[in-house]
Structure 1
Amino acid sequence: MLSEVTATRYVTPLREGGSLPGIVEADDLGTYVMKFTGAGQGRKTLVAEVICGELGRRLGLRVPELVTMQLDPVIGLSEPDQEVQELLKASGGLNLGMDYLPGSLGFDAKAYQVSSAEAGRVVWFDALINNVDRSWRNPNLLVWGGELWLIDHGATMIWHHNWPTAQVSAAKAYNASDHALAPFGPDIASAAAALAPLVTEELLTEVAAEVPDEWLVDEPGYATTDELRRAYVEPLLARAATIHERITLDAPAEDKPSQAPGWLSERLAPRPRATKNDKDGGQ
């Protein structure tokens, strides 16, 4: 099970995230990025963070450690920001914490090179969980200790927002054309060969069990939390076997800063030096 800690001090909000996560200190002397149950996206975002984050870690991808965090809203009484105060008041009880990576940098494709093998593993994983939030617009990737780290998996498994259509939704293809790592020629076939066999029913059941019961109760159509956990396992298990066959990387587009493999090398290739004739208009 995820470790449980208690938030002791709210440090600062992270306004880059739409749900207004915050940096907090906890009673284990650790510093975490807290995701709140009272945020607009609701508890399903935290469920997705746990299942997909823990699945990624078990597949050997770098995902910061996750913990559950008890929050007493009183720690926000001194906050001058009314929006933050309201968020803390709405999030009393159990929330989610992600280990804070001090000094980490946001991923920049022009500054950090990724091997085709690593790019393939990340793209395949994002296709498995149907991550719609790892694009060049918002990579949700950090560079820390010289290595690539995956964060923010709340916008995944979109089928859990409408369970009656989950089977159809989970069977859909994955267009990786806008993926942040598309320019690095992701080796998806090798990633699938290495990772798909690891995604077993036992593994998925294990990561689904990490989700606290209180984030799963009262889901329409499910009598028990175990029944709902099973609903998370089934589409991921089915998807793992064949999703590599349904990942697409479209041709580069001129109006976007990154697209399919080849974009980066084409735009970063050294340009020929101008000659005197070039400067003189060729005369």
Structure 2
Amino acid sequence: MIKLNKLASVGAAVALSVAFGAGASSAKETINVTVLSGYPERTAWVRVFKEFWMPEVNKRLAEDGNYELKYLEAFGTVVKPRGEFEGTQKGIGQIGLVVSAFHADRVPLSSVSYVTPFVSVDLALNPKINDDVTFSIPAMTEAWNEHGLEFLGHMATIKTYAMLSKEPIETLENFDGLKVSGAGLNLRWLEGLGTTGVPSALTKFYHDVDSGVTDAMIAWADAVGAFKLCEAAPYFLSADMGAVTALAVVANEKWFNNLPSEV
């Protein structure tokens, strides 16, 4: 369902793995890699990365048997949400799972999903299109390179955002006066409705609403269960805003360029 990019060229396959995979015992050389995410393992994109990408890459490396990847999974520990960009850039980790919407000032073109709402919710089609667009427009990958990062591919796609609130929202007038937690860019979708957007992160949404800092949040169904958001905001309003490809897998460029060509 998820396309691995650049597998026919240099080392993107390596940089997209997170643990031992098939054939690890036959590998002649082990490459140690730290993967950074400020989010815990229960987050959808971290699960996908760990359960699919990491064994798939070692499976492919095992075909030649010369290398294996051994990863330190720094999920929700070494950096906080939004810290993956700089953490990978500075070499704290070699691979980062970066929510591009948090860094629109640095890689603005990579946030295209957040300025094109109401598109297809096809979870296979959406990241493929975003990858095709990114790899066909040099300015998009070069923006990452300017910060010492190698863009490897998009991964996590959110099927659609919804509004979770303390009180039911039944009319457009109900938005007036609400304080809403969101990623930042998606708060622009509420402009003109009388809301006040509060840039935050998924790991903080529950506390934002529960403590009264905000009245509602923009989140998605998987997050509601994984982070028990419904306890703080029991009302769920789906407006079919469309899918967004929220996460970019990037590598420290210097480390990536020094990988064996086979890897």
TM range (shorter): under 0.3
Higher relative contact order (CA 8 A, sep 6+): 2
TM-score (norm 1): 0.23
TM-score (norm 2): 0.24
More strand per residue: 1 or 2?
2
